[in-house]
Structure 1
Amino acid sequence: MLSKNRIKYINSLKVKKYRQLSQAFIVEGAKSVLELLDSDYEIEFVLATQEFQQKYSTILSRNSAEAETVTAQELEGLGSFQTNDSCLAVARTKENEFLSYQEPEFVLVLDDIRDPGNLGTIVRVADWYGIQKIVCSEDTTDFYNPKVIAASKGSFTRVQHFYTDLTTYLADQAAGKSVAGAFLGGESLYEFQFPAIGGFIIMGNESNGISPEVEKFVTAKITIPRIGEAESLNAGIATAIILDNMSRQISGK
């Protein structure tokens, strides 16, 4: 039986203020928890059904985190998603450490991405295309929001993130480098040549796009050509299309 204090603690971590105070966050579901167990994150504890513990006993034994047996009903009452019927973990957040640009990599820059689902999808897409660093504006939604972690499908364990003032960061890191920004009007993505030496790719706010302050650092405005009548693309989908074209150009495939 879960203690009231533990239930209260887990529920508090659904709120950004308490995640920051506790320096901890929730990870739900078998896939994400297994990715977490195989990562360098410090894990406070794992709550898992007896079936999960039996199936993954070897993986659990390799980690020093406390494992407590719970029922599927208890997990459903704790988590944010009703589909969680196997496990939930609480892990320690990482320090907001500076991420420097290293040629020939591409760094993804997010200017005020507010939707947690979008951010989680972007993290997952970045992982798929080998992007290891995401630099976020201070107004971008919290990386450790449960919906971000869930949407990333475990990719949060492999993609580094850094929250900062983007104008200060780009002034320091992007001078003399390629900075491609996604705009509704600009050069066709299919004609733009991503440099082999890498650079920065900026994605803007879902409604307002890239802010004027950040736009000043953009060296190339790129757009995904529209064929149909849709007004705009979801930020996660747009990121996937841009990174796919970048990847195919750089790899020559």
Structure 2
Amino acid sequence: MLSKNKIKQLRSLHLKKFRRSEGLFVAEGQKLVFDLLDSEMKVREVFCTPELIATVEGKGFNPKNIHTSQPADLKKISQLKSSPDIVATVRIPEHSLSWEEIAGDLCLALDGVQDPGNLGTIIRLADWFGIKNILCSEDTVDLYNPKTIQATMGAIARIRLHYGNLPNYLQWANEMEIPVYGTFLEGEAIYSASLSPNGIIVMGNEGKGISDDVEPFIQHKIHIPNFPADRMTSESLNVAMATSITCSEFRRRMMPNKS
């Protein structure tokens, strides 16, 4: 059985201040934990039922850092509705920001995205569309929020997030002549707009969109039109849905024409 102190320590990692002070976050469930074990992420400890120990050891993980745990203890650690059979603590990585890399490819920028599920889904989308870097405003929800981690479905191991002053980031991009796109209701229809194979795509807050501080650095305003144009429809798309459509159109333009 896990000690009360160990359970308390693991539960504390659900809060941002303790994650930052200890440099750790929690991953739950077989899909996520096994993906992280297979990645370059540094898994510190694994807590699992006896049935999974052989699988964890088979991935080359140090047996000394595997703790046999009963379902009742794992439930006390977890924030999932259904108790997982495996939980891991993982070292928070430190990523350096390479403007040379960003200048040569597509990059996402998130301006005040607040919902952990949206952020996790956007990270998963970035992984799917081969986008390696995401710039985040300082008020964007924490990447290591348990709900965000869960929503990434393991994509967190392959995507680098950089939190900082987003207007400053975009000002540097402007000075380096990196194209900066932003999604606006009054923008040009994305399907007819000229899109470059590289650049930064800014996605705004769920309710307010792109902020006044960020808008001056947007060079190209784009819009996802509804269909048909004169039909009454929803006021806007969910930010993760809009990110999916936008990334798909940018990447579609890069595909070779086989005709």
Alignment match, 1:211: 211
Q: Counterpart in 1 of 2:143?
A: 143
State the match for 1:49 in structure 2: 49
Higher deviation after alignment, 99-108 or 27-36: 99-108
In structure 2, the partner of 1:182 is 183
The offset of 1:122, in angstroms, is: 0.3
Match of 2:234 in 1: 230
Match of 1:248 among 247, 252, 255: 252
Alpha carbon RMSD of aligned pairs, Å?
Answer: 1.6
Q: How far 1:17 moved relative to its partner? A: 1.1
SS in 1 for 2:226: coil
Distance 1:205 1:154, change over 3 A: same
Alpha-carbon distance between aligned partners in 1 of 2:155 and 2:186, rounded to the nearest angstrom: 31
Determine helix, strand or coil for the equivalent of 1:25.
strand
Please give the per-residue CA displacement for 1:120-167, whole angstroms capped at 9, x wherever unaligned: 000000000000000100000001110110000000000001101011
1:58-108 C-alpha deviation (Å, 9 max, x unpaired): 11x345771111122322221110234221100111225334242430111
Is 1:86–2:85 an aligned residue pair?
yes
Conserved 8 A contact 2:112-2:137: yes
- Of residues 207-216 and 101-110 in structure 1, the stretch that sits farther from structure 2 once superposed is 101-110
Code of the aligned partner of 1:42: K
Call closer, same or farther: CA 1:46–1:156 in 2, change over 3 Å. Answer: same
Mean Cα deviation higher: 41-50 or 200-209: 41-50
Q: Larger deviation: 120-129 or 68-77?
A: 68-77
Could you tell me which residue of structure 2 aligns to residue 126 of structure 1? 126
Secondary structure (helix, strand or coil) at the match of 1:32 reads helix
CA distance in 2, matches of 1:34, 1:246: 31
Return 83-92 or 5-14, whichever deviates more: 83-92
Q: Give the SS at the match of 1:68.
A: strand
Output the CA distance in 2 between the equivalents of 1:129 and 1:65. 38
1:157–1:64 distance in 2 versus 1, CA, 3 Å? farther
Query: Partner residue of 1:70?
Result: 69
* Percent of aligned pairs sharing the same letter: 39
SS of the residue corresponding to residue 124 of structure 1 reads helix
In structure 2, list runs of 5 or more residues that go unmatched. none
* Code of the aligned partner of 1:230: S
Count residues in correspondence: 251
Equivalent AA in structure 2 for residue 89 of structure 1: A
Please, what TM-score do these two structures have when normalized by structure 1? 0.94
Question: What is residue 12 of structure 1 aligned with on the other side?
Answer: 12
Asked if the contact 2:170/2:180 (under 8 Å) is kept, the reply is no
* Counterpart for residue 220 of structure 2: 220
TM-score (normalizing by structure 2): 0.92
Q: 1:52 to 1:82 in 2, by over 3 A?
A: farther
**One-letter amino acid matched to 2:89:** V
Aligned to 1:34: 34
Q: 1:133 to 1:11 in 2, by over 3 A?
A: same
Instruction: Go from structure 1 to structure 2 and tell me whether the alpha carbon gap of 1:73 and 1:40 turns closer, same or farther (over 3 Å shift).
Output: same
SS at match of 1:94: coil
SS of 2:88's equivalent in the other structure is strand
Q: Provide the C-alpha distance between the structure 2 equivalents of 1:237 and 1:9, rounded to a whole number of angstroms.
A: 36
CA contact (8 A) 1:48 1:67 kept: yes
Tell me which residue corresponds to 2:99: 100
For structure 1, the residue ranges without an aligned partner over 5 or more in a row are none
Deviates more, 1:140-149 or 1:177-186: 177-186
- Mapped partners of 1:62, 1:11: distance in 2: 23
Q: Is contact 1:126-1:132 (8 Å) kept?
A: yes
